[in-house]
Structure 1
Amino acid sequence: REHGGAWEYQGVAEMKNGWQTKTLDQISTNLDSRRVPITRGVRSVGKYPYYGASGIVDYVADYIFDENALLISEDGANLLARSTPIAFPVSGKYWVNNHAHILKFENPATQRFVELYLESIPLDDYITGAAQPKLNQTALNSIPIPFPPLPEQQRIVGILDEAFDGLARATANAEQNLRNARALFESHLQSVFTQLRGSPVVPIGDVAEVFDGPHATPKTVDAGPVFLGISALQDGRINLEATRHVTPQDFKQWTRRVKPQADDVVFSYETRLGQAALIPNRLECCLGRRMGLVRVNRKQLDPRFFVYQYISPPFRKFLDSKTVRGATVDRIALKDFPSFPISLPSLPEQERMTSRLDKLRAETQRLESIYQQKLAALGELKKSLLHQAFSGNL
């Protein structure tokens, strides 16, 4: 049955002849009592890996283990987030601190079988602590493991490893293709705006008005006008997937300085520098903190052309030269922004270049969508294979 968005493999012993349900203390030896934590200040640097909850933390001058084993995260946010593996094999000479359980198995196939199984299931029901999630040894030992005979374990592990090798290659190819599509667009932006060096150059303030939003954050609500934060700016577009909203009363207050309208350009002047986007039609929104707004003179400057120039490598390089490095965040001085120079070819030339860039961007987005869908499909295929394997149907 499905539990928490992932599969729970229960009752496997009844489903598949010869399978049993075991716990980890029945099929492995726990070596936790041999772990020794070493604080950073007293570690002697050396060649031996020093493991923690999510892998290698450091390299030290000595070791306490010299054997094949499976490490399982004992604590940390990753037990719930699962952004990196929570079960990983170790071998050779190494040291383990008290943030990872260490289990030794009689057979490498059993170790790999358990590793794959633990990576395929949610562990929420076995974890304690909200601020600092923890999987203690008692809870770890209570996790039921579907346990077929050794030859079946070996067969399943062999099939999965071969399939996962192929999936890893396909995933790497799709990720590279995704990077290539984005790099192609970046390269074209670089080429287009490098070739503009002979065009007239004017300060932004000569062809546009620059505004700033309130230096505060209102209380957000579930519905209403959009509160536009800097996280919504993504490569020249506004992404509203994680939209926050404000009340009509706060919207009125937050738009006293400027009320964003279609074709205004919004940009970040702190942290995510070099990001800008057009306000789309019919978007009722107000500016968040660290957001600026440019309202261009349409008789002189195409707002789409301005966005492309803003996110182009040459302009981002210029912004970098004007960046004030802070202890916590980097920023550009908004008072200086109107004096920043931009290239200003004729309006027909701007429109011609923008049209060409629009077409290339549309093609880039089409390719990105294809590769992202492929990556999602590969991820689902891996989940499906794991479900089949541990349900005894592989």
Structure 2
Amino acid sequence: MSELREFLLTEVAVCHDSHRRPIRSSDRRPGLYPYYGASGVIDYVDGYLFDGEYLLLAEDGENLRTRKTPIAFIADGRFWVNNHAHVLQGNELASTRYLAYVLQELDLAGFLSGSTQPKLTQSAMSAIRFKLPPRPTQDSVVSLISAIDEKASLNNRIVDTALELANARYAGAMISGGEPRRFALGDLAQIYDGPHATPKKTDRGPYFLSISSLGFGSLDLSKSAHLDEASFVAWTRRVAPGAGDVLFSYETRLGVAALMPPGVQACLGRRMGILRPKSALVSSSVLLHAYLASEFQEVIRQKAVHGATVDRIPLSELGCWEIVLPDAPSTASLAPVLHELHERIWLAQRENEALLELRGALLPRLMSGDLRIRNDARLNVVQAFVR
């Protein structure tokens, strides 16, 4: 790779902070345009301030220290930005997207002020220094990393579409079939809860599942931590999640649930439980969608214990709660369809795990100059992940 040169951020980027404008939530009118804050889109409004590709860099918030979400990200198209994110564009010396990669990797702790609420002021931002390769090299890196990001985005859309189809098929079976059947949940599934403590977390190893990983039908393992093998043995003595178990949250995030994917070694995190089908009356995927269906979500709302700090499902009572299934013929025909859709979800998510690992391995080496890019690199990356 060509020689790297050091620059101030102000030498390679134009700041557009003067065009930002916050809108109080009570004054926002719903619309099509993303309304950005420090960590991404927080609303959609009926107007826009910017049109094009820009780099947004968080100005304040604890995330500047914790980095739980990206502090530097691209906003493309027409959008609005409040006063909690700096708005930048690369000039002829720097690709806007490449600057996003650089700022996301940099340690900005020395540029932050504020003991309780971290803040990256405009003057502090202007003092940030880093090294850049020539613009053509930046563009090659952006092309390669963009190929990975685009494939990951496609996989996310596959997950969303498969979930929408699964929900639609389940709802259709409830409407078009015969008389729905009603059961006590405990007649269909064994119920387990996880440990009431947190082990020491590690960078790698089996997953320590977090309720943050649970969505309404899918499991995002990137939001769960890891633990070592010895802790895994101790934490799975009572129960270990298995493929097809329905994972759910019984405190705080009530109503969310997902299937445990095959081939994943994990233990239950705090506030998480398992529904394990024990009857030929229901498959894992049908049980999941019965749990997510509006009828059972209403049962949760009515029967949950609403505490001063958190809401919870009383596990001692959960087995008696009524859950509704389609009629027997509809359930039998629905099960393989839902299973296939969830297999597509698992495949897309596994690909994204591999893509994330590949991206994390490539980007630092590309930016440091340790790794060179061939002209066909983007094509090879795309082909490697096309099924």
TM, length-normalised to structure 1: 0.53
1:134-149 equivalent positions in 2, closer than 5 A: 134-135=119-120, 137=123, 140-141=126-127, 143-144=129-130, 146=132
Which residue of the other structure, out of 260, 264, 280, is the alignment partner of 1:302? Answer: 280
Aligned residues between the structures: 341
Aligned position for 2:298: 321
In structure 2, the gaps of 5 or more residues are 30-34, 44-53, 376-387
Deviations 1:204-255 (A, max 9, x none): 34455656667xx32514699987654565647796963457988x959x97
Contact 1:260–1:279 (Cα < 8 Å) also in 2: no
- Flag the 1:73–1:22 CA change in 2: closer, same or farther, 3 A: same
Deviations 1:291-319 (A, max 9, x none): 445566x5xx138x353233216753122
Deviations 1:64-116 (A, max 9, x none): xxxxx998654444546362536889x9xx9996x66788xxxx872783744
In structure 1, the gaps of 5 or more residues are 2-8, 14-20, 59-68
- Flag the 1:173–1:266 CA change in 2: closer, same or farther, 3 A: closer
Aligned position for 1:18: none
Aligned position for 2:380: none
Aligned position for 1:181: 162
Cα distance in 2 for residues equivalent to 1:355 and 1:198: 21
- Flag the 1:375–1:189 CA change in 2: closer, same or farther, 3 A: farther
Cα distance in 2 for residues equivalent to 1:228 and 1:337: 21
Secondary structure of the equivalent of 1:318? helix
Secondary structure of the equivalent of 2:170? helix
Cα distance in 2 for residues equivalent to 1:380 and 1:275: 32
Cα distance in 2 for residues equivalent to 1:293 and 1:387: 45
Secondary structure of the equivalent of 1:202? strand
Cα distance in 1 for residues equivalent to 2:358 and 2:92: 28
Which residue of the other structure, out of 250, 255, 279, is the alignment partner of 1:273? Answer: 255
Q: Which residue identity does 1:320 align to in structure 2?
A: Q
Aligned position for 1:124: 107
- Flag the 1:232–1:332 CA change in 2: closer, same or farther, 3 A: same
- Flag the 1:195–1:210 CA change in 2: closer, same or farther, 3 A: farther
Q: Alpha-carbon deviation of 1:124?
A: 0.6
Aligned position for 2:197: 218
% identity of equivalent residues: 24
Q: Which residue identity does 1:275 align to in structure 2?
A: A
TM, length-normalised to structure 2: 0.54
1:252-291 equivalent positions in 2, closer than 5 A: 259-260=238-239, 267-270=248-251, 271-275=253-257, 277=259, 289-291=270-272
Cα distance in 2 for residues equivalent to 1:182 and 1:272: 19
1:1-394 equivalent positions in 2, closer than 5 A: 11-12=3-4, 21-24=6-9, 73-79=58-64, 81=67, 83=70, 85=72, 110=91, 113=94, 115-121=96-102, 122-124=105-107, 126-128=110-112, 132-135=117-120, 137=123, 140-141=126-127, 143-144=129-130, 146=132, 175-192=156-173, 194=175, 197-198=178-179, 200-206=181-187, 210=191, 217-221=196-200, 230-231=211-212, 235=217, 242-244=225-227, 259-260=238-239, 267-270=248-251, 271-275=253-257, 277=259, 289-294=270-275, 298=278, 301-302=279-280, 305-312=282-289, 316-322=293-299, 323-324=301-302, 326=306, 329-334=310-315, 336-342=317-323, 354-355=335-336, 357-367=338-348, 369=350
Q: CA RMSD in A?
A: 6.5
Deviations 1:356-378 (A, max 9, x none): 54344334433555577679889
Cα distance in 1 for residues equivalent to 2:335 and 2:258: 15
Deviations 1:340-393 (A, max 9, x none): 3345799999777545543443344335555776798899999999888xx999
Contact 1:205–1:338 (Cα < 8 Å) also in 2: yes
Cα distance in 2 for residues equivalent to 1:384 and 1:225: 27
Cα distance in 1 for residues equivalent to 2:95 and 2:209: 46
Aligned position for 1:4: none
- Flag the 1:208–1:24 CA change in 2: closer, same or farther, 3 A: closer
Structure with the greater alpha carbon radius of gyration = 1
Contact 2:13–2:90 (Cα < 8 Å) also in 1: no
Q: Alpha-carbon deviation of 1:320?
A: 1.9
- Flag the 1:173–1:145 CA change in 2: closer, same or farther, 3 A: same
